């Protein structure tokens, strides 16, 4: 199964993507996580990406697209994968489509996790993230078993640099301008499905799995 997670910043793409990856045993590929681990490791890519991410702007397509196109060539992706945070622009979507078409392949679903902007601001301010495995928690709605520690891998949790309210606002504007058009793009492709992401995490998850397994 090859799945794209679409949705505004903070809609719950990462939360759902990790649950889906665990359930179906396919890799979770988050461009945001890849950039953050490059920042942490001090790579050239990390240095470049940080300039944009700290301002709530998109990292340029040329730094992003090849990264993903190469990643999905890897052995662990042969039974499918989940893209979280990619594509984020129409040119990225077209490059992905071309790369798959060359192998006579295509994406199966683009899952749009739909949440209103006012809910999103609240979610982001309470988010805690695992810099090691990418899992996300919330100080009220999705607490880890031990405060400050990741349930999945035991790493210490952090606050993301781009979760400051003014940066969140910019990220939401950038989403509206650059990424929201992908909803129409994937509707035209015939693979868009939408879920109401404002409900409980497990209810949203159940909805998505029903759709993916053809029961909805």
Residues that bind ligand AP5 (CB under 6 A): 7, 9-15, 30-32, 35, 52-53, 56-59, 64, 85-86, 88, 92, 123, 126-127, 136-138, 141-142, 162, 171, 197, 200-201, 204
Q: Which is nearer to Mg ion, 14 or 56 (CB)?
A: 14
The values of phi and psi at residue 29, to 5°, are -110, 105
**Residue 160 appears among annotated catalytic residues:** yes
By Cβ distance, which residue is nearest to ligand AP5?
A: 32
Axis-axis angle for helices 165-174, 117-125 (nearest 10): 140
Q: Which is nearer to ligand AP5, 5 or 104 (CB)?
A: 5
Q: Min. distance of Cβ 11 from Mg ion in angstroms?
A: 9
Q: Which is nearer to Mg ion, 173 or 213 (CB)?
A: 173
Q: Please work out the total of residues on this chain that contact Zn ion, with binding judged by CB under 5 A.
A: 8
Tokens 């397994």 appear where?
213
- Residues 174 and 172: their CA atoms lie apart, in Å, by 5
The values of phi and psi at residue 81, to 5°, are -165, 165
Catalytic residue among 94, 160, 180, 199: 160
Tokens 């495995």 appear where?
133
DSSP 58: P
Answer yes or no whether residue 14 interacts with Mg ion by CB under 5 A: yes
**Residue 171 appears among annotated catalytic residues:** yes
Contact window for Mg ion (CB under 5 A) among 8-16, 95-103, 189-197, 207-215: 8-16
Residues 25-84 that bind Zn ion (CB under 5 A): none
What is the dihedral angle through the alpha carbons of 160, 166, 167, 169, rounded to the nearest 10 degrees? 120
Whether cis (ω within 30° of 0) applies to the bond prior to 136 is: no
Catalytic residue among 2, 36, 50, 88: 88
Contact window for Mg ion (CB under 5 A) among 10-18, 52-60, 96-104, 145-153: 10-18
Contact window for Zn ion (CB under 5 A) among 75-83, 101-109, 127-135, 206-214: 127-135
Structure tokens at 90: 């129409």
- Residues 213 and 211: their CA atoms lie apart, in Å, by 5
Structure tokens at 140: 């009220």
* Enzyme catalytic residues: 13, 88, 127, 160, 171
């Amino acid at each position: 199964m090859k799945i794209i997670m679409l949705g505004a910043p903070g809609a719950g793409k990462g939360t759902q993507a990790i649950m889906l990856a665990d359930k179906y045993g396919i890799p979770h590929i988050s461009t945001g996580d890849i950039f953050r681990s490059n920042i942490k490791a001090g790579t050239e890519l990390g240095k470049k990406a940080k300039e944009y991410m700290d301002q709530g702007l998109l990292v340029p397509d040329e730094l992003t697209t090849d990264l993903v196109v190469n990643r999905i060539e890897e052995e662990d992706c042969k039974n499918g994968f989940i893209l979280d945070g990619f594509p984020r622009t129409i040119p990225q979507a077209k490059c992905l489509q071309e790369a798959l078409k060359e192998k006579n392949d295509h994406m199966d679903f683009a899952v749009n996790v739909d949440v209103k902007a006012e809910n999103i601001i609240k979610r982001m301010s309470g988010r805690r993230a695992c810099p090691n495995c990418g899992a996300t928690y919330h100080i009220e709605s999705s607490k880890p078993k031990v405060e400050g520690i990741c349930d999945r891998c035991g790493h210490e949790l952090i606050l993301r640099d781009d979760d400051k309210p003014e940066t969140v606002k910019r990220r939401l504007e950038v989403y509206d301008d650059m990424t929201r058009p992908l909803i129409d793009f994937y509707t035209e492709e015939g693979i868009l499905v939408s879920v109401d992401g404002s409900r409980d995490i497990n209810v949203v998850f159940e909805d998505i799995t029903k759709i993916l397994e053809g029961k909805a």
